[in-house]
Structure 1
Amino acid sequence: MKRLLDLIKNKYFLVTVAFVVWMIFFDRNDLFSQYQYHQQLNKLEQERDFYKTETANVNRDLDELSSDKVKLEKFAREKYLMKKDNEDVFVVEREKAE
């Protein structure tokens, strides 16, 4: 018991405890902030990976469309509902189930 009281009365121990408490809870870079930064970093890395794969897919599609006229015509018909002069296009939309 006396050792514990001596330890609590020690000014270096008190300063160290105060410093640790300050750094863990009250500092600008406390533990909670570090956890949030880590979560944000993970989210941004996932977004970066997603956009890298999407960019690769778009570049691959662009290469295919610029090299093959049949694929370009199919793409224009599907995405932009383009048609030839002697054709009619019917768009069928399905009702959403609520």
Structure 2
Amino acid sequence: MTNPYKDKSWFKFISNKYIWVLLFFGTWMIFLDNYSYFDHHILNNQIDELEENKTYYQEEIKKDEKQIKMLQNPEQIEKYAREKYFMKKDSEDIYIIEFEGDSLSSNK
């Protein structure tokens, strides 16, 4: 008994051993290999995230360097300590006024 599909072009295409090897190789490379497409996609996303972090931290370093240059002056050190840490001189009284929308913690 002969196969009725043997003379069809699509059957010849599917029964070709080179096509099966190519399909196996393609499936292996896309899904199973250490260098698969999905692994590359995940790694590329991580690289993009790290590059964004790099630019953020470089900008923060520039801000900090600028602030360090400003803090070389004793008057700027005093101003920074008063604003950031609410420090005062012995003869001063400091009143901290908080408005309703200024607090960081919400009382809900």
Considering the TM-score relative to the shorter chain, is it more than 0.5? yes
1:37, CA displacement in angstroms? 1.0
User: For this pair of structures, how many residues does the alignment match?
Assistant: 97
Instruction: Give the superposed CA RMSD.
Output: 1.8
1:34 aligns with 2:34: no
Residue of structure 2 in register with 1:85 after alignment = 90
Q: Distance in 2 between matches of 1:7 and 1:62?
A: 72
Higher relative contact order (CA 8 A, sep 6+): 1
Larger mean Cα displacement after TM superposition, 81-90 or 21-30: 21-30
Query: Aligned match of 2:65 in 59, 63, 67?
Result: 59
Residue of structure 1 in register with 2:3 after alignment = none
1:94, CA displacement in angstroms? 3.4
Q: Distance in 1 between matches of 2:49 and 2:33?
A: 24
Q: Distance in 2 between matches of 1:16 and 1:32?
A: 19
Which TM-score applies when normalising by structure 1? 0.86
Unaligned runs of 5+ in 2: 1-6
Q: Which has the higher helix share?
A: 1
For residues 26-64 of structure 1, give each alpha carbon's deviation from its aligned partner in whole angstroms, at most 9, with x where no partner exists: 223322222111111111000000000100110110011
The percentage of aligned residue pairs carrying the same residue is: 35
Which TM-score applies when normalising by structure 2? 0.79
- Structure showing greater radius of gyration is 2
